Amino acid sequence: VLATKKTSTMEKEMNDAAEAGFRFAAVMGGDTAFGGSEVVVIMTRTSDQPRVQYRLLATGKTSTMEKEIQQAGDAGFEYRGQTVFKSTFGGKEVAVILERDKSIAPARYRYQVLATSKTSTMENELREATAAGYEFVGMTVGKTLIGGEEVLCILRKRAE
């Protein structure tokens, strides 16, 4: 179990755990009893763990998230999970965890980030994106610093 207020610290701790044979299982942001507002990650270990590397992205701006997640996707990282939490320096942010298996050639994906405060708008945007070949991979609902109360969905499709 890893918990911290700083996303850079979490990425380092996740990569340290991966080197010790652990792999990402779950993430949640929120208030913990002693740590205050933190992002908490569960890592698990089994006998057949591949050699993996993690990247953790955190921002309060949808356009920044889409740009950063695409850069990570171009580098061979794949979406694994997301949450909203209040970081030490960034205020309320969406945090996204991506993973890359260092032992195989990575799959390449195109990512799309959708964010809106209206569920009817999100439904329409999801229909359009899936019709264009994207698959839904994750969602958060929460109040972010820039977007206010919103639904944020991440989608992907294999790059050509």
For 2-6, 73-77, 93-97, 141-145, which range has the lowest pLDDT when averaged over its residues? 141-145
- Measured distance CA(142)–CA(145) in Å, rounded: 10
- 157 token code pair: 């499709």
Which residues make Cβ contacts (< 8 Å) with residue 102, sequence separation at least 6? Answer: 50, 51, 52, 53
Helix (H, G, I), strand (E, B) or coil at 71: helix
How many whole angstroms from its chain centre is CA 85? Answer: 12
Q: Average pLDDT, stretch 142-160?
A: 78
What is the dihedral sign for C-alpha 141, 81, 61, 14? positive
Q: Write the CA distances from 50 to 96, 103, 143, integer angstroms.
A: 21, 7, 35
> Are the C-beta atoms of residues 139 and 129 closer than 8 Å to each other?
no
Question: How is residue 143 written in tokens?
Answer: 């109040």
Tell which phi-psi region holds residue 76, choosing left (phi > 0), alpha (psi between -120 and 50) or beta. Answer: left
Return the pLDDT at 47. Answer: 75
List, in sequence order, every residue forming a beta bridge with 8; answer none if it has no partner: none
What global pTM score does this model have? 0.86
CB 27 within 8 A of CB 82: yes
Residue with the two structure tokens 């977007």: 147
Report the distance separating Cα 80 and Cα 111, nearest Å. Answer: 13
Mean pLDDT value across the chain: 87
Residue 59: which region, alpha, beta or left (left: phi > 0; alpha: psi -120 to 50)?
A: beta
39: pLDDT confidence band, cut at 50, 70 and 90?
confident
